[in-house]
Amino acid sequence: MIVEQVRVNYTPDGDTLKVWRTTGNGVEEARIRLAFIDAPELSNPDCYAYAVSARAYLRRLLALNETVEARIHGVDAYGRLIAEVISLRSYAHCGLRLVEGGYAALWQCPQSRGEYYAAQDIAQRKRRGIWKTDGPWQAPWRYR
């Protein structure tokens, strides 16, 4: 795992960020896909309200131009960095907060990351967000 500090540029949806990243050649824009979670897709009409809520919540967690810690686990097939993102201002672990609030479901999360499973269990038991009623929003990866 590589840890970097990056600056938030834009939040296009509930599990993706555009950030400014310092490299050897200066500063470049990069996309980060939050590790271990999947939020409902804005392009899915059945899930649109949940997707907007997830994006709005992530935007509340991370301010524009805020410096955050990115714990990078790798790169996906689309060239996005797969990372856990931590707000240095509020110490909010964005992925965990999204899951616990019912804004996102676990996706490709290793069993060793028990804190994610505990967060999803809390959201399901309290019927938060996507767990209020059964529907396609509970498994966003099926839409892609």
Q: Please tell me the total count of domains within the chain.
A: 1
Q: Is the pTM of this model over 0.75?
A: yes
Top pLDDT among 137 and 27 is at 27
Flag whether 143 is in a domain: no
Flag whether 84 is in a domain: yes
| Residues 21-51 pLDDT 10s | 998 889 999 999 999 999 999 999 989 999 9
Structural domain containing residue 100: 2-138
Flag whether 103 is in a domain: yes
Domain with residue 11: its CATH number is: 2.40.50.90
Flag whether 106 is in a domain: yes
| Residues 67-87 pLDDT 10s | 999 999 999 999 999 999 999
Task: Report which of 88, 89, 140, 107 is spatially closest to residue 35, judged by C-alpha positions.
Answer: 107
Flag whether 100 is in a domain: yes
Flag whether 34 is in a domain: yes
Q: Where are the alpha helices (DSSP H) in 7-143?
A: 48-61, 94-100, 114-125
Rounded percentage of the chain residues whose pLDDT exceeds 90: 87
Flag whether 42 is in a domain: yes
Has residue 141 got a pLDDT over 90?
no
* Alpha-carbon gap, residue 110 to 35, rounded angstroms: 10
